[in-house]
Amino acid sequence: MTIQREASLQPYNTFGIDARATLLAEFTSVEELRQLLQNPEVQALPKLILGGGSNVLFTQDVEAAVLLNRIKGITLNPEADGKHVLVTSGSGETWHDLVLYSLEQDLGGIENLSLIPGTVGAAPLQNIGAYGVELKDTFVSLEALEMESGNLVTFTHEQCGFGYRESVFKKEAKGKFIVTSVTLRLTKEHTFNTSYGAIQDTLLQQQVQELSLKAISQAVCHIRRSKLPDPAKIGNAGSFFKNPEIPLALFEILKSQYPGIPGYPVSPETVKVPAGWLIEQCGWRGKILGKHGVHKDQALVLVNYGGAAGNDVKALAYEIIQSVEQKFGITLTPEVNII
Ligand code: FAD
Ligand code: EPU
């Protein structure tokens, strides 16, 4: 177990921001994590857990012990009904590797979440979602180490308080727990979810004759690669903002002013509006401001073309929030964790 001092975090965040951490160390097991937490140097500092660093924006050096989660291992437990399998994954597994593993085992439920960057342990934090599916749809429970007591605690589905890009770990439990494993219930008998827009078109284009988990996963990967910038080439953290949910009455007023505004009902009183559309309407799509900017194909994605400072990206995010507020009376909320 090596502890580095004044280490660059650039290789550990997909925005590619060059912030420094006071201390940096990896853990590969709960035991190693406990040892690290007992180290006097680590104890003296605040802690920041990082998985893949794909949902963070560093705006300053991190005066903390940054702990990189690398806990691996996947186990399967078939359920007595013969139709489901409980899959327990170490929290440091790469999320997409877990998806690929489940496809190999012909287990369904997370194929629509293919190619989402990051680790399994971070997935419950914001209840990752894509193409009509969210983590909560297969989630059973997780284990987490409580930092204050050092105890391992189990959180059930209900205790996680999942919502759209939300969980208890972004609210009351924020910064108090380190997720060490996650258990999902996957299916042996599949219900394919192709209801989300582009999936069906892509399956048709790819001339898929017989629907399968792998075919859906491949279609999702194809759509994602065509829409989202690859962080290995252009620094980014996916959608920078959440899609706002607004009152139906406001949506109807906006619809009369902007007939093209897209909206998806989430309840009888609320409508979800794509933030990408709102940002594009304010003229931001494709804007380049020196080393950072707004992606040319997806206005919801802020990008670092190389060498940008986190604060520049943050300033741009707040300019975008202001202009959307002025034009539409809607306040965007960042999805990315600004640190
Ligand atoms: P990190 O960025 O390392 O951490 C995120 C937060 O979780 C931090 O606050 C960190 O302290 C905390 N954390 C991390 N691990 C733990 C742990 N084990 N215990 C406690 N706290 C922890 N998200 C979606 O929901 N849907 C998408 O379709 C999607 N597409 C994306 C596309 C791109 C190109 C990119 C770059 C990102 C995308 N994201 C998407 C966002 C991101 O992939 C998810 O939020 C992912 O779950 C982050 O995982 P991570 O391991 O990288 O988390
Ligand atoms: N749009 C525009 N201009 C843009 C971008 C989008 O007009 O520049 C409009 C279009 O009308 C489009 C609609 O927005 O039809 C929705 O766009 P898209 O299908 O690309 O999805 P999104 O709402 O931008 C959300 C998630 C993604 C997830 C996809 C697919 C949020 C904040 N984002 O994006 O998640 O992958 O749907 O389900 O909910 C992430 O969270 O990081 C992320 C990438």
- CATH number of 176's domain: 3.30.465.10
56 and 148 inside one domain: no
153 and 39 inside one domain: no
Indicate the number of domains in the chain: 3
Query: Quick one: residue 33, left, alpha or beta (phi over 0 = left, psi -120 to 50 = alpha)?
Result: alpha
CA-proximal residue: ligand 1, atom 39 (nearest): 238
pLDDT tens for the 339 residues of the chain, in order: 799 999 999 999 999 999 999 999 999 999 999 999 999 999 999 999 999 999 999 999 999 999 999 999 999 999 999 999 999 999 999 999 999 999 999 999 999 999 999 999 999 999 999 999 999 999 999 999 999 999 999 999 999 999 999 999 999 999 999 999 999 999 999 999 998 879 999 999 999 989 999 999 999 999 999 999 999 999 999 999 999 999 999 999 999 999 999 999 999 999 999 999 999 999 999 999 999 999 999 999 999 999 999 999 999 999 999 999 999 999 999 999 999
Residues annotated as catalytic are 165, 239, 335
300 and 216 inside one domain: no
Domain end, chosen from 69, 102, 117, is at: 69
Residue for token digits 């990967």?
A: 221
122 and 53 inside one domain: no
Tell me the C-alpha distance between 143 and 191, whole Å.
28
Would strands 337-338 and 302-304 be described as parallel, antiparallel, or unpaired?
unpaired
Quote the domain boundaries for residue 121: 74-227
Q: Residue 303 corresponds to which tokens in the numbers above?
A: 């990008």
276 and 305 inside one domain: yes
207 and 117 inside one domain: yes
Domain end, chosen from 169, 194, 227, is at: 227
213 and 161 inside one domain: yes
Protein residues whose CB sits closer than 6 Å to any atom of ligand 2: 130-131, 227, 238-239, 242-243, 262, 274, 276-277, 280, 285, 298-300, 335
Inter-residue contact 15 to 337 (CB < 8 Å): no
CA-proximal residue: ligand 1, atom 7 (nearest): 122
86 and 212 inside one domain: yes
82 and 163 inside one domain: yes
Name the β-bridge partners of 146.
177
Residues in the chain, total = 339
- Burial (Cβ within 10 Å: 0-12, 13-18, ≥19) of residue 70: middle
Tell me the C-alpha distance between 103 and 101, whole Å.
5
Tell me the C-alpha distance between 261 and 244, whole Å.
13
Nearest to 120 by CA among 141, 87, 89, 159: 89
179 and 288 inside one domain: no
148 and 265 inside one domain: no
